[in-house]
Amino acid sequence: MSAAITAFRMQLRLALRTPNFWMAQSTAPPQTLLFLSVIDAFDRPDLVSHALLAPMLISMWGTAVWTGGSVVRDDRWTGRLELHVASPTPYGIVVTARVGAVVLLSLLTVPITLLTAWATYGITISVAHPWLLVTVLAATALAITATGIIFTSMTILSRVGNTFQNSASYPLLLLGGAFVPLALLPGWIQPLGRLVFLSWSSDLLRDSVTAPVVARWPGRLGMVVLLGAIGFYAGHRLIRVIMRRVAVTGTLSSP
């Protein structure tokens, strides 16, 4: 636990001094403008909450995937991966703590997005269920951190792990309802989307803002937590197996 806390604090300090982190957050305003312009062009003010949710989730997910990959690359280039193999603390725990620190900071995207909407289109959002919104945002941040470790494991295994991360991120965001609600996608793909925690959290986030009554929210929130926990388990199992494999094959420190 002490190693995880140390890694969390270290990454917080690094992120605040790293230009790449702020560049990732700086994409939120243009993405907000893009989605709002589409809504405005088609005169669909009822979809404003959808347009504002997309850049938030994209930024949080992108931050998690980018951080996980950069942590592994930095550890490999500096020779720290070998030390992590010998450490009693599982490497997955250290990476999760570091990714979690940056995902926590990426919640800054929420006020940035809302401020951009107000400054450009004069849009102000009235939240129907603020306590539920905060709860779902926290659960979503945890699930993003946990599931992102699966993508991090690919960086350990392959030199082209970044290609996998980039190519798999947008289908996951699409299935998760980050761009449009899952109900608007073709019927045959909707069951697949329900296997992605983002589809549950994105629907809950929209309902917490606009719905007078949020139906079955405890069970839906439970699905976010459950699928996030499954992603956490799968990611850590993958990291453990892959670390063992690259150690045995002698490719642990391969650039």
In a domain, 232, yes or no: yes
Domains of the chain: total: 1
Specify if 190 maps to a domain.
yes
- For residue 254, tell me if it sits in a domain: no
Which pTM does this prediction carry?
0.87
pLDDT band at 170 (very low <50, low <70, confident <90, very high): confident
Q: Are 64 and 180 in contact (CB under 8 A)?
A: no
Tell me, yes or no, whether 65 lies in a domain: yes
In-domain check, residue 184: yes
- Per the domain annotation, does 255 fall within a domain? no
Question: Residue 63 — φ and ψ, nearest 5°?
Answer: -65, -40
pLDDT band at 228 (very low <50, low <70, confident <90, very high): very high
Residue 153 is predicted with a pLDDT of 81
Q: Dump pLDDT digits (tens) for 113-139.
A: 999 999 998 888 888 899 999 999 999
End-to-end alpha carbon distance in the chain:
30
Show the domain range for 177. Answer: 2-249
The helix (H) or strand (E) run that includes residue 107 is: none
The answer to whether residue 146 sits within a structural domain is: yes
Output Rg (C-alpha) for the chain, integer angstroms.
19
Is residue 211, in this structure, part of any structural domain at all? Answer: yes
Task: Give the pLDDT confidence of 57-82 residue by residue, as tens digits.
Answer: 988 888 888 888 778 877 777 777 77
The predicted pLDDT at position 179 comes to 80
Q: What is the pLDDT of residue 141?
A: 93
- Average pLDDT value for residue range 225-229: 95
